[in-house]
A and B are shown apart, each in its own frame.
Chain A
């Protein structure tokens, strides 16, 4: 099945409502968060954002479509887009 190209990787911070995908990896250096990279990564993992977790963007805020409410497996987490930039997702699990 390797002939299928992997779906495009996307920072969750750019995803729109209704987007469903899988966490590929965390890239804390890609988010301009007020938290340090270690702190941001730790907190994201503590909320369940680990590689392979299924996510879906459920809701968006009024101002600048921010923050977003994301379903992570069976937990819903509210997060600002700025921090969500550190979560790299793809619409399907890559085929290897």
Chain B
């Protein structure tokens, strides 16, 4: 049996999906498009095995974006390879029925078996919304059931109803009479929905007072921006400072594991591979798991709370000055976690030019993969002092790197608009601001868990493979007998690194950095692991344990700062480039992104290095 969840954005569809399926979820893409396909399964009280798909949120079936087309095609059975749902569950936020009831009236014309789920029924009751469920069901002509996705047992009525509907002998399919609504039809449908609501739902006189109170601060023209700045500041302090103890613990764990391997195995290639290649390489990346969890935790919490739409509202005109659409704020903020979901999230921007600009600058936002690189260099070269008593200097530098990323993204966007699309007016901005909700712990936990799993899988596959390669390049050929220099100086890595080094030496980079940057093209954080491997093989086990301290003795401050500048801009992520190619459907835009970021990186590093040397940090 196949069920589909349909609903407007912010209807609580995803939390209902999580409540029904728990962690039995599969996230993939629909074939040919980059729309996320979320499927899960559960068993009804009568023992029916049911698969459930969470369709992209939509206000109507007319399909104005690729996401909304998926919803329409699956509900209409137009989608090849997707089963026609045996039951469509239309999910409504009980405090806000107008738009969902209109969607439901439109869904009725598809002829699919249909039920309305009044979700968040507890919140509605608390706010004084009362729904005459039986009359509503009679007026709509479809079964109506209430649910509280966040409470244990809150979906039991829904499960019983599902059994009841699925038990009916399949009636001959009602005709699909759906066609896109004309404007007068749409208006008539909304009026019909309003009439039904007026007859069956009694609404409180006052809107949600909490939302009003919070918004009076958060959407205040000036205060709101201060709040936004504070949220971002706390987020970055949390990422950098609060995760330190756990990260140190992880680092110590991997060092101990490496030492254990070193002590147990006889000296030789296997020992070197396990300790320097596998454990120190992969370990140096996994250490950053706490920071990635914190970044995603903040983003998911803000999204669940309902703040993201407010941020878009506050930033709309300010970003408009830089030639960006207000809706670009959410994709750009997601890009702080990773540019890939960020670029995919640009699909909420309907206008192609606005979307393209956002895609081009999204990789300049400081993604979580830069954190390992920044952390390593900052902790090695920036003293851990407190300034003004409470601000950590290292945290401040980190904050500065983020700000530089943001400012350059806005500048690039401004230049794109100024030089390429001068004659063009910004696309409209229209967005629902949902009532605030207390974030659902379970929902956020599932989201963070999925992301952490993806990161670890990457560490286990891509990064591990890269580490093996680096170790191989750094270990072979073996030094000749009686060699006086460190072993790595005779290796392939050294040969390659020294070949590229002249190109990078104006930036203050040595050949070890050059070696690390090559696999770093696959994924930024690999560079840290690669530096770990290169210096571990060069310096022995002491170096592997404290890569930061080694760097502090091998590099000048100017080199370190130059590498930081490089990492703000350099397009060092093959997956991001691949997503840009896929989302824009063009190799040209991918090449443009790569080219301009590379040019910026080179220029910024060059300037940083030479200014730092001139100031005596060489």
Contacts and interface: CB of A to CB of B under 8 A. Distances in A.
B428 A83 contact: yes
B309 interface: yes
A35 interface: yes
B426 A61 contact: no
A62 B190 contact: no
Contacts of B203: 74
A66 B428 contact: no
Contact of A78 (B96, B191, B431): B431
A75 interface: yes
B221 A62 contact: yes
Given A46-B99, A61-B314, A62-B225, A77 B183 contact: no
A50 B433 contact: no
Interface string B208-251: 00011001000111101100000000000000000000000000
Contacts of A41: 183
Contacts of B318: 62-63
A77 B183 CA distance: 20
A48 B98 contact: yes
A40 B428 contact: yes
B433 A69 contact: yes
A33 B428 contact: yes
A63 B321 contact: yes
A64 B215 CA distance: 19
Nearest to A70: B433
B102 to A, nearest CB: 8
B200 to A, nearest CB: 15
Interface in B43-83: 59-60, 62
Given A46-B99, A67-B313, A67-B316, A59 B215 contact: yes
Contacts of A63: 317-318, 320-321
A59 B219 contact: yes
A27 interface: no
B321 A34 contact: no
Contacts of B62: 42
Interface in A25-63: 33-35, 38, 40-48, 50-53, 58-63
Interface residues of A, number: 39
A50 B426 contact: no
A78 B309 contact: yes
A76 B433 contact: yes
A59 B213 CA distance: 12
B183 A34 contact: no
B221 A60 contact: yes
B508 interface: no
A46 B429 CA distance: 14
A17 B312 CA distance: 19
Contacts of B428: 33-35, 40, 43, 79-80, 82-83
B432 interface: yes
Interface in B164-217: 183, 186-187, 190-191, 194, 203, 207, 211-212, 215
A40 to B, nearest CB: 7
Interface in B93-113: 95-96, 98-99
Contact of B221 (A61, A71, A75): A61
B433 A77 contact: yes
Nearest to B318: A63
B317 A64 contact: yes
Nearest to A17: B221
Interface of B: 59-60, 62, 95-96, 98-99, 183, 186-187, 190-191, 194, 203, 207, 211-212, 215, 219-222, 224-225, 309, 312-314, 316-318, 320-321, 326, 351, 425-435
Interface of A: 33-35, 38, 40-48, 50-53, 58-67, 69, 71, 73-80, 82-83
Q: Which 5 A-B pairs have the closest CB atoms?
A: A63-B317, A62-B221, A76-B433, A59-B219, A46-B59
Given A34-B426, A45-B190, A61-B314, 18 more contacts: A34-B427, A43-B428, A44-B430, A46-B59, A47-B432, A50-B187, A59-B215, A59-B219, A60-B221, A62-B221, A62-B224, A62-B317, A63-B321, A66-B316, A69-B313, A74-B98, A76-B211, A78-B312
